[in-house]
A and B are shown apart, each in its own frame.
Chain A
Amino acid sequence: MNTEINKNRTYTKEEKTAVVKKTNQSDKVTLNTIFNQIVQKIKDKHLN
């Protein structure tokens, strides 16, 4: 398939700009936990 529906789509500066912001508290706890688990896995593999 070859489609070009959005080919000429234009954007404002804001519309083409990526956004960053802090996560909510629930996601923060989950993600920090996963990060620490990853470091632990590396530790387990290389130190133990």
Chain B
Amino acid sequence: MRSVLTAVDYIKDIDGSFKVLELNTGLSIIPRTIEPYFNKVDFDNLLSQNNITTIDFIGLSLGFEDINDLEVINGQNEGMVAFLKRTYPNLEINIILVSPSGWVTPILNDSPNKLIIRQSYDSSALIDETYAKDNFEFLKLLYDNDINSIPKTYFNHPTLGFDSIGTNIRDNGNYPNFIIKQRYPITNYEIYPKPVKITTQQELTDLKNSISNDLILQEYIINFNDLENGKLKTYRTIGLIYGSNIDSVNLFEPFIHTNPCSIDLDVDYYDNEIQVWERPKYIQKYKTRHILTYNSDSSNLIIKSDGSLVTPDNLSINDSIKSVNLFNLPDTDDPRKIFLYKELQDNVFSGSTFSNTTIESISNISMGVWIRNLFLDGGLKFSDVGHSLVLILRDGFIKFSSFQNIELTDQIVVVDNTNNQFILKGIISESFIFTKEKIFTIDVEDIDTYLTMEESTTTPKYFIIQHNGAPCSCWEFLFPPATWTCSEQCPTEGPPLHPFVYVRTGVNNEDCWALFGMGTVQCDRPCCKEAPEGWDGSDPPIQLPPPIQLDPLCNHCIDSGKQ
């Protein structure tokens, strides 16, 4: 029996009624832990009534970053796969991971005692293609049954289009009162959804006239009595729609999902659109996700070989900049080798030499991005995009960390620019700012490091050491000891590196951990490696995924069933 995980999103209006927003398949399972949300009673009934002995789970390595799941106890995350395997040990559970970028869902053989649960998108399926993909179809379906079941809506289409907005201008005070969405799903949220504020009938008329055939205009509902710690929220149900009779079960308890940031008393607009920095307050998905290769923001002051300080905007190919030959640092941009670089403090501080390197390439893009500010001992401040690599001291060793993964217990390696003396600085605090920023990819050769000055003063004295490589995006789990380490990029060949090897993509090991159960991850694609021959399947003392093998194209991973 085939089934598909289906999510519907809602918002609660000021009269207490729920308005339906959209329907999704190919969905990310937002909660970090499944058990508190899972409707086991109804799912068990589904299994028993259909004599299910096997579950094929077609999972999707797609997720949402930065979630605080208030149902998680003691920080224990457990994704869908891990939960199913733990909860139903007597069922045969097969896992297939599908790349979100490919949208290619394998066709599995159905059988009487098998339940195929599809998390991924399937363009040949009715629910997916008609109602998840096409918001026009979904909204029209609901509108025709109950005009009040959705927010007031306008879109232009010869057969599906309707206008329930009319001349109504919702009064949200100074806050946005309409939102423009796209008809079909998107992955780049830089522009849409777009909240706007409309004041006059003429503005509303003009806005409607500007809505093209692939856009939807809806009233933007704000319910000030339904905030979560000042944050706007939506509601989500996840059900399992199954069988040729289109039956369903409420698989998850409904949950709320807030926007990242709380709303403020004032709203900044550019014309009638909210400014970029307001987007995390008013929409859940508000930026592009994959910016792995960008390693500098526009305000960084980089030291040239003549001692002058320049921002990336003022750097050109073949410019000579100051650099440092770090003790034992391999000459490579390979993320794995950068990650594995680990040296004693004394070796680095006494065995490194300052030199020059050359700008090999530099490019930029302008986009909404989170900038992290780190405030260090002595009043120093450094700010950068999350994926830039910075030299730190952690657990007694000097190594590189992506800026976003620097822990507050780390120490930052800084250098006095007047005498090139290395110093360690503790972190006092951090803050974040969301802004539209020109961010840069800087590649330097022959030495792969460049030096960035502090941003706390107009006469900076100290700099940090940055590597031009990208952060690790392919991880493997080693046991024992239970640690994550950076792996070679997909596809991997050759013998296993260790008796327990699991490789996943993700920008940090927490992403990989979540992917264990395909809960929430931020990955380019799943990547895995064949479980070693001879592993007896004995359980290590922590939850581990099943043996997994890599398909030839590394597009999806197949549970080898060797457990």
Contact = CB atoms under 8 A, between A and B. Distances in A.
Given A21-B255, A27-B254, A35-B248, A7 B275 contact: yes
B127 interface: yes
A9 to B, nearest CB: 7
Contacts of B277: 6-7, 9
Interface residues of A, number: 39
Interface stretch (B30-38, B74-82, B453-461, B508-516): B30-38
Task: Give chain A's interface secondary structure class.
Answer: mixed
A35 B269 contact: no
B71 interface: yes
A43 B246 contact: yes
A31 B269 contact: no
Of B66, B239, B255, which is in contact with the most chain A CB atoms at under 10 Å from its CB?
A: B255
Contacts of B256: 19-23
B241 interface: yes
B261 A7 contact: no
Contacts of A21: 69-71, 228, 255-256
B182 interface: no
Contacts, number: 166
A16 B275 contact: no
A17 B258 CA distance: 9
A11 B431 contact: yes
B131 interface: yes
B484 interface: no
Given A5-B266, A20-B68, A31 B261 contact: no
B145 interface: yes
Contacts of B241: 39
A4 to B, nearest CB: 6
Interface residues of B, number: 70
B18 A30 contact: yes
A28 B250 CA distance: 10
Given A5-B268, A12-B432, A22-B255, A17 B260 contact: yes
B497 interface: no
A27 B235 contact: yes
B237 A35 contact: yes
Contacts of B127: 42
A16 B370 contact: yes
A1 to B, nearest CB: 5
Contact of B67 (A10, A11, A17, A45): A17
Nearest to B131: A42
Given A21-B70, A22-B36, A22-B37, A2 B269 contact: yes
Interface string A15-48: 1111111110001101110111011011101110
B270 A18 contact: no
B141 to A, nearest CB: 6
Contact of A10 (B12, B254, B432): B432
Contacts of A35: 8, 237, 239, 248, 250
B98 interface: no
B293 interface: no
16 contacts: A1-B270, A7-B277, A9-B277, A11-B432, A15-B261, A15-B262, A16-B432, A18-B257, A20-B69, A23-B253, A23-B254, A27-B12, A31-B254, A35-B8, A35-B237, A42-B126
Given A3-B266, A21-B255, 11 more contacts: A3-B275, A5-B264, A9-B277, A9-B433, A15-B261, A20-B31, A20-B257, A31-B235, A39-B6, A39-B246, A47-B246
Interface of A: 1-23, 27-28, 30-32, 34-36, 38-39, 41-43, 45-47
Closest 7 CB pairs of A and B: A21-B70, A10-B431, A31-B254, A39-B248, A35-B237, A43-B246, A3-B268
